[in-house]
Amino acid sequence: MTGAAGGDTAEYRIEDLAHASGATVRTIRAYQDRGLLPTPERRGRANVYRETHLARLRQIADLLDRGYTLASIKELLEAWDAGRGLGGVLGLVAEVHGPWTDEEAARITREELDAKFGGSQDDGAIAEAVELGVLECVSGRDDEFLVPSPQELAVAVELHAAGVPLRAISGHLRELRGQVEHIASRFLEFTTEHVFARYLGHRPPTDSDATEAASLVRRLRPLAQQTVDAELARAMRMFATRHLHHHLGAEESVVDEGATRPVLLPARTIQAVQKLVGAEGVAAFVTAAAEREVQARTLDALASSHSERNKVDEST
């Protein structure tokens, strides 16, 4: 790496640029072929890169970390190069990729973790917790873990203390996660259709549209949590009351035929149905399938009853 005349702008050979950016030489050349990097200055047989190339490489790396494809990154960068501005777009990206909770991660040692679960050392349960993301390994520290959600870990501790086996807790979390992801997907589809579609007509969106969309994300982000909290409280009260009445022998009130009741389904069932009919058609599909099954069993029962009567008549 050298300094240009006046020393204001650094110059890089491709190897120096690779070292400074963390990208490989091969990657840098691939980005050039795709049009993601500005053309470097040619001096003799060598290419000379500047700070703008380093900044661009860091920008690409950041967007890749956020889940963007190279094709979508190219669209964003072309808009930037055309003078459309990316401040609002990058603000929207930061808003979406930022934390969706005020909860702060914590650290815990293996000794502290074992103590929380009654002193038992269960390597299998630890491995499963890491797989589920309840715990994250800390590089270079085999005896320490990062806890992304201390509240989630605290729930597991309380359930285990109440007598729930660790395997049952992790199995329940897997099922719950699938159902919650379905809720999140539906909320996103709902808000995209009715709120954000008007901002996403351009690819990438204009800077002003992206800025306004980022503001809406900030406003709407708590609504999903608030809705789930309210509906969960309602459902828990209803089911807890029903279970209590059942175990105490109390008669359950008659439910109106037009009323609806929530039914818990395995996450894999919901996902399979969603692939067939889309998220918006899951409830109708399950209802129709259940009604068809009831009708089929009713017909089977009627046919079986008729057959039995015929056998009785023939024997008399």
Alpha carbon of residue 245 to chain centroid: 37
> Rounded distance, CA 231 to CA 234, Å?
5
Cα(121)–Cα(135) distance, rounded to whole angstroms? 15
Read off the pLDDT of residues 247-279 as tens digits, 9 standing for 90 and up. 787 554 555 566 666 677 777 788 888 888 888
Q: Which two tokens stand for residue 138?
A: 């800390």
Q: Check residue 313 and give its pLDDT.
A: 58
On whether the 2-83 domain is CATH 1.10.1660.10, my answer is yes
Q: Is the pLDDT of residue 84 over 60?
A: no
**Whether the predicted pLDDT of 202 surpasses 90:** no
Q: CB within 8 A of 282, min separation 6: which ones?
A: 182, 270, 273, 274
pLDDT of residue 5: 45
**What's the pLDDT score for residue 274?**
84
pLDDT at 155 over 90: yes
Q: 164-195 burial, b if ≥16 CB within 10 A, otherwise e?
A: eebeebbeebeeeebeeebeeeebeeebeeee
Nearest to 60 by CA among 47, 69, 48, 51: 69
**Distance between CA 100 and CA 149 in Å, rounded?**
12
Instruction: Evaluate whether 175 touches 267 at the Cβ level (below 8 Å).
Output: yes
Question: Which tokens hold the place of 150?
Answer: 């201390």
* pTM to 2 decimal places: 0.54
CA distance 129 to 113: 11
Tokens 């609002």 found at: 88
At residue 35's C-alpha, the angle toward residues 203 and 81, to 5°, is 55
Summarize pLDDT for 159-168 with one digit per residue, the tens: 999 999 999 9
The Cα angle at residue 209 between residues 204 and 215, in degrees rounded to 5:
120
Task: Read off the tokens for 213.
Answer: 């969309």
The H-or-E segment that residue 271 falls in is helix 267-277
Per-residue pLDDT at 7:
45
Residues with Cβ within 8 Å of 279's Cβ and at least 6 positions away in sequence, in order, are 182, 185, 186, 189
Query: Domain limits of the chain?
Result: 2-83, 106-241, 267-315
| DSSP sequence for 31-52 | HHHHT-SPPPEEETTEEEEEHH
Question: For residue range 208-254, what is the model confidence (pLDDT) as tens digits?
Answer: 777 888 888 888 888 888 888 999 999 999 988 888 888 787 554 55
**pLDDT tens-digit profile of 184-199?**
888 888 888 888 887 7
